[in-house]
């Protein structure tokens, strides 16, 4: 049986990846992390969507130890999410080590359920400035996990080279645009759908949707070309 594990936050990107995975694999498992994030409403949204979409299983893991170690606007309610970069050149919403931990635990889970594919919605083309969303990082983690577990695991990143407009086109291609638009939670302030309209995540999401709606045919063609 062809199995996959999707790292699933209940946001636009991971939901789009889950929708696609469900058309490509016989069995899809979703894994969500509770790290004490400020927008922890996403956990409930992920549970609802995983059930609605028909994931074989949905595991929610308590990794609040990350919250103790990583100081970020996403792990501290008293640090407002900023639109500006810090002195280190990174957004203050960057959670150091987050994707290292997420990919490691998801890799272990994949090993246990016999899944050879691990899917994550990270993106280098239109990302938020996070170093752990880069293709180079994912490839390094893929190699480390496969070597460390002596298990041939393939980490797939369907959104890696898509911009946000093309990610909306992907959702539309799988007839899930309205669901992704209305039922996912991308907002750092925990508001479903279009969100607060003020945080960087909402800005990126809204701009991508507007770009897609204004140039649907062109963007869809670009998405399909990149997905060949």
Q: Whole-structure pTM over 0.85, yes or no? A: yes
Q: Indicate the annotated binding residues for Zn(2+).
A: 187, 196, 199, 202
Q: What is the pLDDT of residue 71?
A: 67
* DSSP result, 50-69: HHHHT-SEEEEEE-THHHHH
User: Distances from the Cα of 102 to the Cαs of 89, 120, 207, in angstroms?
Assistant: 23, 10, 28
Nearest to 29 by CA among 64, 62, 63, 53: 53
pLDDT in tens, the chain (228 residues): 899 999 999 999 999 999 999 999 999 999 999 987 767 888 999 999 999 999 999 999 998 887 777 666 666 666 666 666 666 767 766 778 889 999 999 999 999 999 999 999 999 876 567 888 899 999 999 999 999 999 999 999 999 999 999 999 999 999 999 999 999 999 988 899 999 988 888 999 999 999 999 999 999 999 999 998
DSSP 133: G
- Give the residue numbers of the binding site: 8-18, 187, 196, 199, 202
CA 218 from centre of chain: 25
CA–CA separation, 186 vs 194, rounded Å?
Answer: 8
Domain ranges of the chain: 3-163
Which residues make up each annotated binding site for ATP?
8-18
> What pLDDT is stored for residue 128 in this prediction?
65
Which CATH architecture describes the domain 3-163?
A: 3-Layer(aba) Sandwich (3.40)
pLDDT for res 90 = 73
Give the pLDDT confidence score for residue 92 in this predicted structure: 66
Q: 188 and 200 in contact (C-beta within 8 Å)?
A: yes
């Amino acid at each position: 049986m062809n199995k996959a594990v999707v790292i699933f936050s209940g946001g636009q990107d991971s939901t789009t990846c889950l929708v696609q995975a469900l058309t490509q694999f016989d069995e899809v498992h979703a894994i969500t992390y509770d790290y004490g994030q400020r927008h922890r409403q996403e956990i409930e949204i992920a549970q609802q969507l995983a059930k609605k979409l028909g994931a074989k299983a949905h595991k929610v893991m308590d990794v609040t130890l990350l919250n103790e170690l990583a100081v970020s606007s996403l792990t501290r309610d008293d640090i407002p999410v900023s639109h500006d970069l810090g002195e280190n050149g990174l957004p203050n919403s960057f959670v150091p080590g987050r994707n290292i931990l997420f990919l490691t635990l998801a890799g272990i889970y994949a090993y246990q359920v016999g899944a050879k594919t691990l899917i994550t919605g990270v993106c280098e083309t239109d990302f938020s400035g996070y170093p752990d969303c880069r293709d180079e990082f994912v490839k390094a983690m893929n190699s480390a996990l496969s070597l460390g577990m002596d298990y041939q695991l393939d980490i797939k990143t369907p959104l890696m080279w898509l911009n946000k407009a093309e990610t909306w086109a992907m959702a539309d291609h799988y007839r899930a645009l309205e669901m992704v638009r209305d039922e996912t939670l991308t907002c750092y302030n925990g508001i479903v759908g279009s969100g607060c309209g003020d945080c960087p995540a909402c800005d990126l999401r809204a701009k991508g949707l507007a770009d897609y709606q204004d140039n649907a045919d062109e963007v869809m063609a670009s998405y399909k070309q990149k997905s060949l």
